[in-house]
Amino acid sequence: MAKLKYSQAELDNHEHYIRNRIVKALCKRLAMLSSLLAVSDILPNGSSYQGTKIDTPCEYDYILPMDMSKNNKDVVFTRIPYRSYALDVNIYGDTFTEITQLFSKLTHLDSELFRDHTLNSRTFVRCILLQALDKCLSELHAEGELVYKGLVLLDSKLEKESPKFNEVYLHSQEHGPSIQLRVGGPLCVTDIDMGFCLKVPGETLTQDTFYIALLSPPFLTHWIVSIYRTPNISNMDACHRYIIMALKYILTKLDKQRAFNSFSLTTLVRYHIENECDGSAVEQSIGKCFNDVCHSIARLQYVSKSDSPTELVSWGHWLEDLMNKDCPGIKIFRRGSYDNSEPVFPLVIYILNKLAKSSSGVPTVQDIQTQIDMVVKTCKLEAWRQHIIITLLRKNQLSSSEQEDILSTEDVYDLRVKYNHKNDTLFGTGIVVINTQRIMDIIGHQYESAPPNKDNLFVIHDHPNTGFQNFQTSSIKFLP
Ligand SMILES: [Zn+2]
């Protein structure tokens, strides 16, 4: 299914460009700026190096251990009591002086870099690393090595940032424990996560597996303990890697969005292996494994109504926490939060899983691809239709002819323009109910090349004016 769009030589060339022309060049420049910022290694991390890479090589993760802590008695790590995942990094002597000088050279911001001798990881990112990277990228730009487009908030302006070849944006905030670049690579626009970290001395397990102190995400001042594992010793079996690749393939059919990516999908599969997998992840059980993973994705955004299980209810926010497996205490998705909330992908996964379970015989690759395209298109359209209907109903601005018009408009773009929905955020304004049986019916009809029948398009909006409180929680249940 994950048919390669590019040849191995093209992919190698792309990776070579990302690693050498961008990451390595930047690291070299950082070392010239200050020996404190030198990194000893550029370590591959994430799916691009774990054998779950699919046709669009649009994400690369690197772990970059900084030399600062290497054989340096000035740097002392202290575990924080009651927080097993957290570390304080205390700096003394000449290193303390050098960091303080570098800080005043790079920024005029009034932030606390040290409390006593404890290095604030957040200030270190914002006032030292980001400023240093901004400076280095500007230098590389001035020398014609690349085209630097500046320090920008990448999340909020996704559509505007589509760098051309050799153009680079630097994300102005932390991206989890990493710093992010968006680069126009030889094959496609590529996000690079640079995980600057300190190797924790004395806690080296093996040459391929060791403890690192990662920068912590916003609002925390300490550092996060994690274990780095060389990707090629990743112990995930082929069956589960196929599942990740299938999910990532489906993801490429959706608009670029930030919540679901190789990292969050790999994390979900790792939890499945740990908590649900019956251990016989061989050919015969891939269906059960896939089913379990699909449900764990759907459960993040939807519950089903117990009196009508084919209707899925969403509030647009995350219904469960998803914890980072390697950084205990760090949440990838936060329960109750609308941040990066993405209801279309879980819906697509839910429907595809239902179709997979109900199909008989072995479909061809062509059939599967056609089916995925159809499901993505239908789910996206239905989600937008329901979102617009509910939004207008809530304002008491929906006439029956408009409702009919919304339900018969076949193009998401036309729908959004017509009803003035410029904001990309779907749902998030209250309850939206999706009737999955209707989606199955629409797909069934189209799949047999029959013209879509207007009567089969669903009209479902149970009490749209009710809020969470009025919605009987007894009438809904978590997906099985
Ligand atoms: Zn499994």
Percent of the chain with pLDDT strictly greater than 70: 79
pTM greater than 0.85 (yes/no): no
Q: How far is the CA of 237 from the centre of ligand 1 (A)?
A: 9
* Phi and psi torsions of 244, nearest 5°: -60, -45
Reported as type and span, the H/E element at residue 106 is helix 93-106
The reported pLDDT for the residue numbered 469 is 26
> For the chain, what is the mean pLDDT?
79
Q: How far is the CA of 261 from the centre of ligand 1 (A)?
A: 19
Q: How far is the CA of 415 from the centre of ligand 1 (A)?
A: 40
Q: How far is the CA of 235 from the centre of ligand 1 (A)?
A: 13
What's the whole-number mean pLDDT along residues 392-409? 86
Residue whose C-alpha is closest to residue 391's, from 358, 352, 432, 351:
432
Q: How far is the CA of 280 from the centre of ligand 1 (A)?
A: 7
Percent of the chain with pLDDT strictly greater than 90: 27
Q: How far is the CA of 268 from the centre of ligand 1 (A)?
A: 11
The reported pLDDT for the residue numbered 446 is 57
Question: Which CATH number is associated with domain 8-233?
Answer: 3.30.460.90
In eight-state DSSP terms, residue 419 is T
First to last CA, the chain: 27
What's the whole-number mean pLDDT along residues 435-461? 54
For the chain, which residues make up each domain, given as ranges? Answer: 8-233, 242-478
Q: How far is the CA of 279 from the centre of ligand 1 (A)?
A: 7
pLDDT at 465 over 50: no
Band the pLDDT of 203: cuts 50, 70, 90: low
Q: How far is the CA of 320 from the centre of ligand 1 (A)?
A: 20
Q: How far is the CA of 177 from the centre of ligand 1 (A)?
A: 28
> What whole-number distance in Å separates Cα of residue 248 and Cα of residue 237?
17
The answer to whether 348 touches 376, Cβ cutoff 8 Å, is yes
Residues ≥6 apart with Cβ < 8 Å to 465: 393, 394
Q: How far is the CA of 276 from the centre of ligand 1 (A)?
A: 7
pLDDT, tens only, 325-362: 776 667 788 888 887 778 899 999 999 988 887 776 66
Residue whose C-alpha is closest to residue 259's, from 332, 168, 182:
332
> What whole-number distance in Å separates Cα of residue 290 and Cα of residue 296?
10
Band the pLDDT of 80: cuts 50, 70, 90: confident
Q: How far is the CA of 252 from the centre of ligand 1 (A)?
A: 23
